[in-house]
Amino acid sequence: MKRTLLSALVVVLCLGTLCHPASGQEAPNVNANCTDAKDFQTWSNCKVRQAVLAKINQRGNTKQTETPSVADSSTSLVDQSSASDLIGAALNLAGITDNPNGNENKSFSFTTSLYSVYSALSQRDPLDPSFYSAHRRLRSVYFTLGQEVPKDETVNINNRATIFGAKFLIWDMRDAAHPSNLKLLGRHYEKVGKFGNATRNLNVVIDNIGEYLSSSNIGPGPGASQAAKTDFLNRLEVPAEFQRMLGLLTVKDLDAINKIIEEGLGPEIELAEDTRKVIEQIRKAPQFSLAFQAKTRREGIDEYRAEAILDLGVSGRVNGTVNGSFIYMDSKVIGGDIRAAAASGQLQFQVTPEKKLTGRDPIYLYLAGEGKWMSGMDAIGKVQAKVKIPIVEGISLPISFTYATRADLIDEKEVRGQFGFTFDVARLVKTLGFK
């Protein structure tokens, strides 16, 4: 057990090191001088961005891609109130356990929203903004279907369980198309009246850079004709030409360009700050959902769970989730039914900043606790620590360690380690460039 836990810890540390800069500081996406930029447009944008220090905390962080917690082998002790907008898939491959045989239940599940089903049936692009905004309610309903393979399947294949469930987002203030968020975005538009003003301002900055280059020794020089300037500016958009001309710039030229940028940064910083506020406000908004999950077998005990889930943003990088559930275990043995109530809570900490270098998610640390009270049995308490490590865009590796005062039906204390992979199909599709 110790060796397994140690191995898992090494994996966590290694992956953490590989995935993110050791300092935890935001890594620049392009080198400081933006020399990787392909043409004048990307270079000038990059130069301005490099000069803006604001750092934005973005992307929704409660889209659940793991197998729901009703599966014994789920790495998630607490369910969250929303799932991926399109299709999410989760695979729990193996457990790290005290069990000397090393066996644990394995599970696989798909979660999809009614929205994605409807868009497929109506053959509409789910990412069409008008369709997306018009069918917000359909993103309030999610379905899950999966299977759990028991650790002793070789003994009895009939113990394999089917997992199915549904989740209803009753209160979803985090949907971008929610009226309150549309109002917020409307204010964002006006703000940088502001947004347009930032655009105007950046036109001035980029134009001043263009004029500087045009007047410098790489351009047609001061007082050049419209045709000569047009030709020069067009050549700046050809990657090979631009790279050649960039190589000819002197330190003095670069200093002058940096000065032009610095002089025009005010509206950019203001816009970046407003964007950050909008994102934070949406991410911290509450979500409340009701869920039903079931695990049925040909033989053995079927399990049904009704659950209420509340997500609340606590602070910038901390998200809180509270679950309350009722569980009914339907035994084939007369008088063997079990009823239980459970309450759990989880704090999600975003350890590393939002993705900055490679498009991967940040590392998340979760601390969770659960209490379970079953008819005719002693209460069970569980605490869990979990780390979720991004592997590539759309794929994460969650590793969890759980301590339970006793296993569900066996009167003994249990320590269990678990790892698996989670896939956000929507993001994978996006990453792979499919429409």
Partner 1 sequence: MPDFGNAGTRTVRTSKGAVIVDIDNQEFLSYEVKAQGAVPIFAFACKHRALLSANDLPNHPTSTYKWKWSKTDFGNDEPDKSLGDRYGVRFQFLTALKYTLLVRHHKQDGTVETIKDIDYASNDSSDWFQETFKVFIP
Enumerate binding residues for partner 1 (CB under 8 A): 29-30, 36, 38-42, 44-46, 49, 56-59, 125, 127-133, 175-177, 181-182, 185-186, 188-189, 193, 195-200, 202-204, 206-207, 210, 226-227, 229-230, 232-237, 272, 275-276, 278-279, 354-356, 359, 427, 430
CB closer to partner 1, 263 vs 299: 263
Say how far apart CA 349 and CA 327 lie, in whole Å. Answer: 28
Task: Dig out the tokens for 421 from the structure.
Answer: 């992979």
Asked if 302 and 330 count as a contact pair (C-beta separation under 8 A), the reply is yes
Of 299, 428, 415, residue with least CA distance to 361: 428
Task: Dig out the tokens for 3 from the structure.
Answer: 């060796």
Written as one letter, the residue type at 300 is G
Kindly state the smallest distance separating residue 159's Cβ from partner 1, in Å: 40
Kindly state the smallest distance separating residue 241's Cβ from partner 1, in Å: 10
φ, ψ for residue 232 (rounded to 5)? -65, -50
Kindly state the smallest distance separating residue 172's Cβ from partner 1, in Å: 13
Kindly state the smallest distance separating residue 100's Cβ from partner 1, in Å: 44
Asked if 112 and 88 count as a contact pair (C-beta separation under 8 A), the reply is yes
CB closer to partner 1, 101 vs 130: 130
What angle, 0 to 180 degrees and rounded to 10, lies between the N-to-C axes of helices 40-51 and 239-248? 50
Task: Dig out the tokens for 38 from the structure.
Answer: 């392909």
CB closer to partner 1, 46 vs 399: 46
Kindly state the smallest distance separating residue 289's Cβ from partner 1, in Å: 19
CB closer to partner 1, 16 vs 220: 220
CA angle 378, 383, 384 (to 5 degrees): 140
CB closer to partner 1, 264 vs 398: 264
CB closer to partner 1, 153 vs 354: 354
Asked if 343 and 353 count as a contact pair (C-beta separation under 8 A), the reply is no
CB closer to partner 1, 18 vs 333: 18
Beta strands, E only, 227-363 = 287-297, 302-315, 318-330, 338-350
Kindly state the smallest distance separating residue 119's Cβ from partner 1, in Å: 12
Kindly state the smallest distance separating residue 425's Cβ from partner 1, in Å: 13
Tell me the HSE value of 273 on the side-chain side, using a 13 A CA sphere: 10
Say how far apart CA 247 and CA 135 lie, in whole Å. Answer: 51
Reported as type and span, the H/E element at residue 275 is: helix 266-284
CB closer to partner 1, 166 vs 233: 233
Query: Is the alpha carbon torsion for 408, 414, 420, 426 positive or negative?
Result: positive
Kindly state the smallest distance separating residue 129's Cβ from partner 1, in Å: 4
CA angle 400, 404, 406 (to 5 degrees): 145
Asked if 159 and 299 count as a contact pair (C-beta separation under 8 A), the reply is yes
CB closer to partner 1, 101 vs 226: 226
Kindly state the smallest distance separating residue 144's Cβ from partner 1, in Å: 23
Say how far apart CA 174 and CA 300 lie, in whole Å. Answer: 40
